[in-house]
Amino acid sequence: MRAVLQRVSYASCKVSGKITGEIQQGLLVLLGVEEADEMEDLTWLAQKIVNMRIFGDDNGLMNKSLMDVNGDILLISQFTLFAQTKKGNRPSFIRAAKPPQAIPIYERMIGELQKLTGKPVATGIFGADMKIELLNDGPVTIVMNTKDKDNY
C-alpha cells in the first residue's frame, strides 16, 4: 500500500459536482492498493496515519498526532500512486490492485481508521472521477509505502 498524507486546514471531494466528503483540520490521505497487499499492511498503515506526529504543538513543532488535535480524515482511493514510469511516456499501472481486490481493502481501511479515531472518515467514491480541493497546511506532505517501511 502506498499513501500520501497531506496535513490540511480544509479538504473536500466532489463527484459530478456534489460533495462526497469534506473535512476541516486533519489529513487528506490518498491511498493506493497493490496486488501484494495484506491485512498486515493495512493495520500498520492505519496506525501510522492516526499516530504520525505532524501537527504543531504550542511551540510550532510537529509533536502532535491527528488524535492529539482531534483531526479528521478524508480518504481517497488513488491507483495512480503505483504508476511505473521507467519505460516510455505513458505510465503503467500494472502493480495497482484491480477493483475486485482493491475495493474491499479500501473499505476495510475506512473501517479501521474509524475504529482508531472513533469518528467517521470522509471519503470519495472508488473509481469515480473525483475533484479534490484542499488547503495544505504547512505544507506538510508525507509519503508512505508498506512494502518499504525502512525507507519511509
User: Is 20 noted as a catalytic residue in this protein?
Assistant: no
Nearest to 102 by CA among 82, 122, 121, 126: 126
Q: Parallel, antiparallel, or unpaired for β 18-23 and 2-15? A: antiparallel
Given 80, 117, 141, 146, which residue is catalytic? 80
Interacting residues of 66 by C-beta distance below 8 A, sequence separation 6+: 26, 27, 49, 50, 51, 52, 55, 73, 117
Which residues carry out catalysis? 80
